[in-house]
Amino acid sequence: MTSHDVVSRMRRITKIKQIGHTGTLDPFAEGVLPICIGKSTRLIEYLADDKEYLATVKFGVTTDSYDLDGTIVKTSDVKITEDDVLNALPQFRGEISQLPPIYSAIKVKGKKLYEYARAGEEVKIEARQVFIEKLELVRFSETEQVAEVLVKCSKGTYIRSIAHDLGEVLGCGAHLVKLIRTQAGRFFINNSTNLEEFQGKDVVNMKLINPIEMLDYPKVLVNEDELIKIKNGVAIENKNGIKVNEVVILINNDIIRAVGVADNKKILIKKVF
């Protein structure tokens, strides 16, 4: 089920059209997909966007999509060891340059890459800078030539590309055969709810999380006089000494009333709820 399918199902259950998610999952992937409902969709850009994945990589086989859904383009008889994998991983940590897969939704000249691929058209793919905070080998099977790798990374990182590039470095080729997103920002898989459990709006209401808990920015309680100003888009005094250009969450009665940005002695209002 794709991320789009998940959103469509939640719309049918809740009868609410304004629903969005915080990061697309590949169709074969599973795991954490934070869903925002109603006005909270306007907060998506302020949610932490680092991700953590448990990826299963198969060595010896290369596919055009870098995953198990693609067509096999190359096989290899080269056998690798656990030490080979451990020695190769360090070069993928930190800030790296990464080429997205041709079968991805990134747009080039207004057209998605996978549309070029399906049409058999060539297109120049630009490398992108991504940050890999953690890359650890969890398990390796020399018999199966399969590795499980834990990856914590910045937004926009393609785990499929890491699998493919790791295979290239090791000289045997590789592709991704399983992917579980274990964390998205402050959302963790252990605290998540399976989609199958959402059978009615009452279940959704039970599982709702106050977005105040998930936003990692300074939070300022505002009084009724300040609330009137906020509703009219008028800046309020920066009484808490928030640093210039820092995002601020303005709260009244345990409800997010606005998102602002500190500007010296004032907090400028950017979004009102």
Residues recorded for the chain: 273
Q: What are the CA-CA distances from residue 251 to residues 135, 220, 257 (Å)? A: 38, 6, 5
- A 10 A CB-CB count for 61 gives 18
The active-site residue out of 26, 67, 84, 165 is 26
Neighbours of 154 (CB within 10 A): 14
Decide if 52 contacts 189 (C-beta within 8 A): no
Q: Residues 6 or more apart from 84 whose CB is under 8 A from it?
A: 170
Residue partners of 254: CB distance under 8 A and separation at least 6: 210, 212
Buried-state track 90-125, b at ≥16 Cβ within 10 A, e below 16 = eebeeebebebbbbbeeeeeeeebeebbeeeeeeee
Residue 265 contacts residue 238 (beta carbons within 8 Å): yes
Q: Which two tokens stand for residue 130?
A: 């991504």
Amino acid at 92: F
Q: Which residues contact 143 (CB under 8 A, 6 or more apart)?
A: none
**202 in active site:** no
- Catalytically active residues, by annotation: 26
